[in-house]
Amino acid sequence: MSKRKIAAGNWKMNLSIQEADKLVTTIVKSQRDKSVHTLIGVPFPYLMEFKAKTRYMDKVDVMAQNCHHKASGAHTGEVSASMLASIGIEYVIIGHSERRADNNETNDIIKEKVDLAFANGLKVVFCCGESLKTRKAKKHIAHVKKQVKESLFHLKKADFDNIILAYEPIWAIGTGETASPEQAQEMHREIRDYLKTKIGTKSKNISILYGGSVKPANAKELFSQADIDGGLVGGASLKADSFVPIINSFS
Ligand code: PGA
């Protein structure tokens, strides 16, 4: 994957299939800039339906919101990377802060998920980000680098072709508070520089998305920063009225 403009929506645990169907139809009809790659993070029960619906669309694809860190077995209610691959899913979000918090997902567990995703040919949208407490203590950059190092730096250089990173400060997720373009750009540059120590100049080609209360009103400014290649959008991806303008915000 080379660096692209990416508008990724993360529906989380929202929308009925009927609501979702209307939303996807509108998004597909309204995307102006055909160079933008739109990804939609769909709840597990809808994945096959929306994979089929977007099958012939170049610029729209679906992502799973998670996969388990074990290959298979007695894990009631869980979904494996190989199951996702077997229904044709290409992308999976791994390491979202809500999963880290709700399910005690450590950097090590996330590393296992990343390995299984790659073993099954999936592409990974890897989330990282700090809490407000960590930022206030001025440890945010070290914290994010640690997340990246402990879950990704064991990978081969070639694996990075199949990773999209998403920087999502926890204090900005679902709070209405957004990192300023400068705060976001600073962290994205730090992440890219850090990746360079591992994969060299290839780091230029990695897409790094910003997530945390992205809205139509702030998307343009965020996406115009040098190291911000798009957004991972939660709340505002649930309505066409807000997600479509975000998709069309790239200059
Ligand atoms: P938000 O969520 O846009 O609602 O802040 C972002 C995310 O969690 O991916």
Read off the pLDDT of residues 144-168 as tens digits, 9 standing for 90 and up. Answer: 999 999 999 999 999 999 999 999 9
> Tokens standing for 151?
């879950």
CATH superfamily of the 6-247 domain: Aldolase class I (3.20.20.70)
Ligand 1 site-directed mutation target among 173, 177, 209, 210, most atoms within 8 Å of CB:
173
pLDDT score, position 28: 87
For the annotated catalytic residues, the residue numbers are: 96, 168
Pocket flag, ligand 1, residue 166 (CB < 6 Å): no
> Tokens standing for 126?
């890897």
- pLDDT band at residue 34 under the 50/70/90 scheme: confident
Q: Which ligand 1 atom is the nearest neighbour of the CA of 215?
A: 3
pLDDT digits (tens, 9 = 90+) for 96-132: 999 999 999 999 999 999 999 999 999 999 999 999 9
pLDDT score, position 3: 65
DSSP 73: S
Residues facing 6 on adjacent strands: 37, 230
Q: Whose CA is nearest to atom 6 of ligand 1?
A: 234
The structure's pTM equals 0.96
Ligand 1 site-directed mutation target among 125, 214, 243, most atoms within 8 Å of CB:
214
Overall average pLDDT of the 175-203 stretch? 95
- Write down the mean pLDDT value for the chain: 95
Q: Which amino acid is residue 117, in one-letter code?
A: A
